Amino acid sequence: MSKSARPLDYLSYLKIDELLTLQDPISFKGAKPAHDEMMYIVLHQAYELWFKLIIFELESVIAILDHESVDERDITRCVARFKRMSAVQQLLLQQFQVLETMTPLDFLDFRGLLGSASGFQSFQFRLLENRIGIDPALRLNYGNMTYSKCFEPAKEKQLVDSEKQPSLFSVLEKWLARTPFLDQGDFHFLESYEKAVLKMLGTEVPLSSHDGSSYAAQPSAAATSAFYTQEQYEKLRASGAKRLSWRATLAALFISLYRDEPILHQPFRLIESIIDFDENFALWRYKHALVVHKMLGKRTGTGGSSGFDYLRATVEKHRVFSELFDVATLLIPRSDLPDIPEVLKKRLDFRYSSVD
């Protein structure tokens, strides 16, 4: 740095002066400024900054997992980044408390000035959904338009292109499918699991030969009846009832059941982190829908969407990792878990050898 250059300080490093010029309430230009519009702008700009950070952290996780081999140390980094994203998601939820200090009547003081401006037009949030891995076929249309059509051509192309890039869903699916412990020597996890479930249910008749109706009291039975063969599972995928691959689902179940084995600690924490991540966004969507209902009732949203009804529908339709939640249906008690062969148990352990 030259002697004449100004030393870096708080204002210049964070560009505070520029940042504070970005709040420009429309109503303040007229005769009746709406006091609450300033809060409305600051809050939504804060959302966009938090979305930027989540996308930044998520891109890092995708890049780590998008390899044929992922080091255990990198899984630890992914878990740490999800911890940060989860903390940000909690802030996203808490910000609704600030928004709700504005009453519906206060909102009407400036709502008419917003024109077609809508949160639906948040480019970053749509990009975030694609990077997480939302299925384009399951997206709800924005009125009569697909979600990308409300953006200028360059941004529309970027969104459409992002649908084709590796997403969190796709890299996680491949990572799970590479789990090496499902078939080791004489140990075949699926066979051992089926025997354990049958023993737990007190029957010797394979579940795949039943429709599951006689086991209504056993939540795992009906779910597993179509799980034991890849052919049956693939029929569910073809119908759209399942999206995660058969082997990836099997691996998620194995990791969840044998989470206490040392080598599976971090993989389980990663799965758990992604479940929390998906849950937090579902909670955010639901809270968003409730706040819109509270502020607008059944009015059409500012961007022309169906407002509350549209947002409420996205809570389930736009979830990406619900199948990781479904794995809980397949869990059996630790006391009923099949024993792991000693050779495999050693592979699942951490070993330390002293060096003389």
Q: What is the CA radius of gyration of the chain?
A: 25
Flag whether pLDDT at 132 surpasses 70.
yes
By C-alpha distance, which of 123, 124, 130 is closest to 169?
A: 130
User: pLDDT (tens digit, 9 = 90+) per residue, 271-300?
Assistant: 999 999 999 999 999 999 999 999 999 877
Helix axes 265-296, 72-99, angle to 10 degrees: 20
* Token pair in block for residue 130: 């694609």
pLDDT of 310 reads 86
Q: What is the CATH number of the domain that holds 135?
A: 1.20.58.480
- Confirm whether 3 is domain-assigned: no
Does a structural domain hold residue 352? no
How confident is the model at residue 214, as a pLDDT? 40
pLDDT for residue 356 is more than 80: no
- Domain limits for position 251: 13-347
- 8 in a domain, yes or no? no
Structure tokens at 107: 């909102």
Whether 2 maps to a domain, the answer reads no
Residue 76 pLDDT exceeds 50: yes
Q: Tokens standing for 12?
A: 């210049």
Q: What is the pLDDT of residues 233-284, one digit of tens each?
A: 898 899 988 999 999 999 999 999 999 999 999 999 999 999 999 999 999 9
Contact between residue 167 and residue 133 where contact means Cβ atoms under 8 Å apart: yes
Cβ of 139: how many Cβ atoms within 10 Å?
A: 18
Query: Which stretches does DSSP call E strand in the chain?
Result: 183-184, 187-188
Count CB atoms within 10 A of the CB of residue 218.
16
Mapping DSSP onto H, E and C, the string for 108-165 reads: HCCHHHHCCCCHHHCHHHHHHHHHHCCCHHHCCCECCECHHHHCCHHHHHHHHHHCCC
pLDDT of the residue at 307: 79
Distance CA 27, CA 290 (A): 26
Number of domains in the chain: 1
- pLDDT for res 186: 87
Q: Is the whole model's pTM more than 0.95, yes or no? A: no
Lowest-pLDDT range of 86-90, 169-173, 194-198, 298-302:
298-302
CB 207 within 8 A of CB 241: no
Burial-class residue 183 by CB neighbours within 10 Å (0-12, 13-18, 19+): exposed
**Is residue 227's pLDDT more than 70?**
no
Residue 354 lies in a domain: no
Per mean pLDDT, which range of 62-66, 85-89, 174-178, 214-218 is the poorest? 214-218
Say if 356 falls within a structural domain. no
Closest by CA to 348, choosing from 247, 272, 255, 246, is 255
Alpha-carbon distance 18 to 175, whole Å?
A: 43
Q: pLDDT digit string (tens) for 183-211?
A: 988 899 999 998 998 888 775 455 555 44
User: Apex CA 271: angle with CA 190 and CA 231, to 5°?
Assistant: 35
Residue 68 lies in a domain: yes
Residue 7 falls within a domain, yes or no? Answer: no
